[in-house]
Chain A
Amino acid sequence: NAGVMQNPRHLVRRRGQEARLRCSPMKGHSHVYWYRQLPEEGLKFMVYLQKENIIDESGMPKERFSAEFPKEGPSILRIQQVVRGDSAAYFCASSGGQQINTEAFFGQGTRLTVV
């Protein structure tokens, strides 16, 4: 049973370009979380999605950032017109449901560098 798969592992974008980060949850998991981690800092919650639904996007910047989790295929975190401050590690986690006693499993992350 494969774990949470994120790709690419490393992504370099020039300022103004778009970044698309993909996350395939563990088999059987229907809930996905996205977090951002700056160097030597903690994880900041961005968005919580269920298949075809955004459950909580309170951590998403109001502009340039969007996320989706379609019925088929991976979850996508999209950053438009990237700026240097978007450089960070972006982690995806998945869980089997909304049950609060279930832990989330993390992917290896995508390290975005904006040059």
Chain B
Amino acid sequence: AQSVAQPEDQVNVAEGNPLTVKCTYSVSGNPYLFWYVQYPNRGLQFLLKYITGDNLVKGSYGFEAEFNKSQTSFHLKKPSALVSDSALYFCAVRVYSSASKIIFGSGTRLSIRP
């Protein structure tokens, strides 16, 4: 069965510092990976996705993610954090099958201190 894990419930970073939010996946075929962000009392907003091609994917708001097949990881990164980046981040995976649902990780709360 496909699954995705976010090992950190919370990540705390000082404004201006680089940030990393970790995600690992387990699938039986080729993974299609996504990152979403959720602000308080809101729905999820799409940030970026990996399908094929370059392992480094660039997305919205200056975020990027690196796909690493050997480590089955898809960590979210940003070179310089902003206070406004504070939110809940979800990694998700989709694998082709007859029912290609999207499976989400448990989420990581990112807190950026001024």
By a beta-carbon cutoff of 8 Å, the part of chain A in contact with chain B is 4, 6, 33, 35, 41-43, 45, 48, 55-56, 58, 91, 93, 98, 100-101, 103-109
Contacts and interface: CB of A to CB of B under 8 A. Distances in A.
A43 B34 CA distance: 14
15 contacts: A6-B43, A33-B102, A41-B107, A42-B90, A43-B90, A43-B104, A48-B101, A55-B99, A56-B101, A93-B44, A100-B94, A101-B51, A103-B49, A106-B44, A108-B42
Given A100-B100, A101-B49, 9 more contacts: A4-B43, A43-B44, A43-B90, A45-B101, A45-B104, A56-B101, A91-B44, A103-B49, A104-B46
B68 interface: no
Given A43-B90, A106-B43, A106-B45, A98 B102 contact: no
A98 B100 CA distance: 7
B103 interface: yes
Interface of B: 32, 34, 36, 42-46, 49, 51, 90, 94-96, 98-107
A82 B45 CA distance: 29
Given A48-B99, A101-B51, A106-B45, A41 B106 contact: yes
A56 B43 contact: no
A107 B42 CA distance: 8
Given A103-B34, A103-B46, A107-B43, A42 B102 contact: no
Contact of B106 (A4, A33, A35, A42): A42
A60 B100 CA distance: 16
Contacts of B45: 106
